[in-house]
Chains A and B, each alone.
Chain A
């Protein structure tokens, strides 16, 4: 059943939802990346909650003029208007008062959402009796999606992607270093507004599929996930689009394959699954990689200390050190150094002396700064320099008893 769904074999509506969701996921992931890199991820929370009063007002207006209150384009227009009002309030509060951005986000989202709920109850009592569709905007509802709705989402997603393609460079610059961008003459606040405008567009387009509470997840989670895999911003953008699209596609297919699996939450949980995998297994930034790095470092320290102890004829009691030395063929089972071990130990001790010379000599200041007790001296100095240092140290001396 799930295979059928993934191959778009579950009928017209399911296919429509899957394609629409994928487009939305891609554009949300790409847009969210800039928000995340700018460290303003939760602004999307305020924007999405601020859409509710607009949706309700648009419905009331359209219904009271005798039209169909559920015209998607009208509702989306209303939501865009009230989201921009919310965004304006948010910017005004952070700029003109002492409130920090998090407090401004919280107040905008709660007040707009509260007002939206007041309007929802007004609609319930208006006696129009056809308001069932509106609650779908809270958590998304894909059951009755029409061709026209899918087209709105597709066109919205495509326009968003195109705009991002056009202004991706200034947006990246502002995200990384707003002061530098301002010094270069870029209009930082306008670019910030453009990012927010794109976020708003994605939010509005996504209302129908995942709903206003969960669209935040589509904006934040793919970007955070992508950040684990690469250090390059353009790759983060591409990966975030990929992860967003993938989780939306698989999520939509899964929700179509069985009853009682609402699309929005499944998509969010899918993207969280991708996030979890990345958090654990990503190279370099992942948890597993960090643990492996730690163990590798621990082994290097133990081996080094063990060799120095061998060179100075001190007994070694530490189990891990002994095991590592034995495994490297440096000591025999009874703890006596092999020939190879003696050679390595002598080299380690000599390197230590070489480092001591390097660190006491002002002319080697740059090289000395790299000393951490583990670094090979050959990776810092040339053969000639090392030969010069060896001349200063002189030949092998007897170890003092």
Chain B
């Protein structure tokens, strides 16, 4: 395919997809090891009420307030889950189920109650985003990458997602040692003077930031899939945390690339007319990768468990 077609139509959605996938997969590794994998699921559900409330308060679809609203909702959800778990002495899974379904229901209700016909805000959009529409109309080919005027009209999601990825990577890199210690042995971490509660909260907030930024660009389904599937597949490939993180980044990039290409061009190869949902396809590809890793990965068994049981 020529640059004239690829750069304006596919380059930016592809890059946004990759950035979003990696930004979610990185914190996902630690959430997975800490048995908090479903926090990503909960966050991506509660983002909806956050965005709706932000819209009701400001009356416009602007990125800043919506991100704030979504992040606020994520923090509220985490606090609520913890409060219900402690106050009601309920197991964490059930507490999570109570909170995120209720907040999601509240979001849907608010959305139905307000008149959003003038703006682009609906549940379907929130669920599976609109990756394909993030095109770069001002580009004419590869040369546009050096053209300042065309670059000024990049879709805003691209720099935002890149920044988010940078922030998430920085967080993981800066706190690598303490994260690693507190993930594997929380008691030991505490004896070293690491504030494990604070660190856990920081990790969840980082995940929420990644989820909210990615959600804005690609919808919540990719967010859940990327939080869990690439790290889970990477878990089958390596016994080292470094190796697992590296594999998960690779799997995330691969899912985003393959998923986008299959969604955009797969139906055409099969003789159909229109593309299918890229977000859904990326999630599907990450699932296929996980299935392959779970079947053939070198470290797929529980360590110590006899093979074949």
Which residues does chain A contribute within 8 Å of B272, judged by CB atoms? Answer: 125
Tell me if A325 is interfacial: C-beta within 8 Å of chain B. no
Indicate whether A121 sits within 8 Å of B280 (C-beta atoms), given known contacts A102-B35, A102-B38: yes
| Count of chain B residues with a beta carbon within 8 Å of a chain A beta carbon | 67
A210-228 CB mask vs B (1 if < 8 Å, else 0) is: 0001101100110110011
Whether A118 lies near B236 (C-beta < 8 A) is no
* 8 Å CB contact of A287 from B41, B87, B91, B97: B87
A60 surroundings in chain B (CB, below 8 A): none
**Which residues from chain B contact A96 at a C-beta distance below 8 Å?**
294, 300-301
Is the beta-carbon distance between B91 and A109 smaller than 8 angstroms?
no
Partner of A102, one of B37, B101, B109, B299: B37
Kindly state whether residue A231 has any CB partner on chain B within 8 Å: no
The answer to whether A114 and B221 have CB atoms under 8 Å apart is yes
Decide if A285 is an interface residue (CB 8 Å cutoff). yes
Given A220-B94, A224-B90, is A98 in contact with B300 using a C-beta cutoff of 8 Å?
A: yes
Establish whether residues B300 and A97, one from each chain, have CB atoms under 8 Å apart when the complex forms. yes
Which of B7-15, B182-190, B201-209, B283-291 lies on the face that meets chain A? Answer: B283-291
Task: Tell me whether A69 is interfacial, beta carbon within 8 Å.
Answer: no
B302 within 8 A of A: yes
Contacts of B214 in A (CB 8 A): none
A328 to B232, CA, bound (A): 64
In the complex, whether B127 has a CB less than 8 A from a CB of chain A is yes
> Is A281 part of the contact surface with B, judged by Cβ < 8 Å?
no
B59 to chain A: closest CB distance in Å? Answer: 19
Question: A265 interface residue, CB < 8 Å from B?
Answer: yes
Q: How large is the interface on A (under 10, 10 to 19, 20 to 34, 35 or more residues)?
A: 35 or more
Q: What residues of B have a CB within 8 angstroms of the CB of A36 in the complex?
A: 94
Across the two chains, which residue of chain B brings its CB closest to A287? B87
Cβ contact within 8 Å between B276 and A269: no
Q: Is the CB of A268 within 8 A of B101?
A: yes
Complex: A135 Cα to B299 Cα, angstroms: 40
> Is the C-beta of A77 less than 8 angstroms from some C-beta in chain B?
no
CA–CA, A46 and B143, complex, Å: 46
Chain B residues lying within 8 Å of A220, measured Cβ to Cβ, are 94, 97-98, 101
Known: A42-B93, A262-B112. A269 touches B102 (CB 8 A): yes
Look across to chain A and name the residue whose beta carbon is closest to the beta carbon of B224: A110
Per the bound structure, the CA–CA distance linking A97 and B222 in Å amounts to: 23
- Given A214-B105, A261-B109, A107-B94 contact (CB < 8 Å): no
For the complex formed, measure the closest distance between the CB of A209 and the CB atoms of chain B, giving whole angstroms: 13
Q: Does A139 contact B (CB under 8 A)?
A: yes
Report yes or no: A110 in contact with B93, Cβ–Cβ below 8 A: no
Closest to B84 in A: A279
Q: Mark A89-121, 1 if CB is under 8 A from B, else 0.
A: 000110011111011111101111111111111
A214 touches B101 (CB 8 A): yes
CA distance A256 to B224 in the complex (A): 34
**Inside 8 A of B95's CB, which chain A residues have their CB?**
224
In angstroms, Cα B303 to Cα A317, docked, is 61
> Which A residues are in CB contact (< 8 Å) with B228?
103, 106-107, 110
B-contact 0/1 string along A120-135, CB 8 Å cutoff: 1110010000000001
With a cutoff of 8 Å between Cβ atoms, the chain B residues found around residue A122 in the complex are 267, 276
B97→A216 contact, CB < 8 A: yes
Query: Looking at A97, A114, A261, which has the most chain B CB atoms within 10 Å of its CB?
Result: A114
Given known contacts A113-B221, A138-B127, A266-B109, what 15 new A-B pairs fall within 8 Å (CB)?
A: A102-B37, A104-B232, A105-B38, A107-B229, A114-B282, A117-B127, A118-B276, A120-B277, A122-B267, A125-B267, A139-B108, A223-B94, A265-B108, A275-B98, A285-B89
Top-10 shortest CB links A-B: A114-B283, A111-B287, A117-B280, A217-B101, A268-B105, A110-B225, A265-B105, A106-B228, A118-B280, A220-B97
Q: List 11 A–B pairs whose Cβ atoms lie within 8 Å, in order of A's numbering.
A: A110-B287, A111-B286, A114-B280, A115-B280, A117-B127, A117-B277, A121-B274, A122-B276, A213-B104, A224-B95, A264-B105
